[in-house]
Each structure stands twice: as C-alpha cells, then as structure tokens.
Amino acid sequence: MAFIYFNSNPRSLRVGDCAVRAMCKALGQEWEDAYAGLCSIGFSYADMPSSNFIWGMYLRRYGFEQKNIPSICPNCTTVGKFADEHPEGTYVLACPSHVVCVDQGDIYDTWDSSDELVLYYFEKQED
C-alpha cells in the first residue's frame, strides 16, 4: 500500500472536491467531465454533487457495486488497512467526511487519508 498524491483539479485547488477527484481516478475521467456528470445527477435530484447518494449513483452507472464493511469490527477498517487488504481492483471508499479512490492497493488523494475510517465502498465489477 502506498499513498500517491493525486489532484485532478485543473487549477490544482483543494476545494472540497474529493468526490470529483475520486471519480476521476476510478473512472479515468477528466475533472470537468466528472464534475459535470455529478452535477447533472445532483440537479435531477435537487442534491449536491458531493452527496454520497449522488456519487454512488454515478458510480453505479459505470459498473461499480456498493459493498459493506464486515460488521465484525466496523470501526477497525481504515483506508490504509483496506488498501493493504485489496491489492488488486479499483475501489471508491466512503469515509465519514471524505471520499477516496484505492486502485491496485494504492491510495490516490491530495493528502494521506490512510487513517480515515471506511463506512462502505464501491467496487468496479469486471466487464
């Protein structure tokens, strides 16, 4: 597991756009395309593009499936532990106040979010 600095924001800003950045990495999209796609869905539901409901719908459109963290110890799974346990595949993790992409066991983010707790996650399904 490694933290890899990733900021797809075209102005290199860190402006609370973690959901957009996670979509960019997970889907291989440009920031503007992910932002517009999330805003379009958000507009349809009168919800913000960064809401869990909206970005979850967006991922489902691209073949991601929502999964739960095992209930054995739900407060034990951090982003770092999840990345260590998932060395293959593409995932988008929902944290209490953050969204991050883990790809091939690496954490892609603008900061090292490895200590954040994971609430649930989306996994890219094979084609």
Are 39 and 77 in contact, with CB atoms under 8 Å apart? no
Supply the Cα-derived Rg of the chain in whole angstroms.
14
Specify if 75 maps to a domain: yes
**Nearest to 42, CA basis, from 61, 27, 57:** 57
The pLDDT assigned to 1 comes to 82
How many angstroms separate the CA atoms of 79 and 93, rounded?
8
> Given a cut of 80, is residue 114 above it in pLDDT?
yes
Are 125 and 26 in contact, with CB atoms under 8 Å apart? no
Q: How many CB atoms lie within 10 A of CB 4?
A: 12
Specify if 109 maps to a domain: yes
Specify if 72 maps to a domain: yes
Domain containing 65 equals 2-6+17-124
Specify if 70 maps to a domain: yes
> Given a cut of 70, is residue 81 above it in pLDDT?
yes
- Rounded mean pLDDT, 63-75: 89
The pLDDT assigned to 68 comes to 95
- Rounded mean pLDDT, 71-91: 92
The pLDDT assigned to 67 comes to 97
How many angstroms separate the CA atoms of 11 and 54, rounded?
24
Specify if 12 maps to a domain: no
Specify if 33 maps to a domain: yes
What is the reported pTM? 0.95
> Given a cut of 70, is residue 127 above it in pLDDT?
no
Split into its structural domains, the chain has a count of 1
> Given a cut of 70, is residue 99 above it in pLDDT?
yes
The pLDDT assigned to 14 comes to 85
**Nearest to 55, CA basis, from 41, 43, 65, 67:** 41
The pLDDT assigned to 73 comes to 80
> Given a cut of 90, is residue 71 above it in pLDDT?
no
Specify if 22 maps to a domain: yes
Specify if 92 maps to a domain: yes
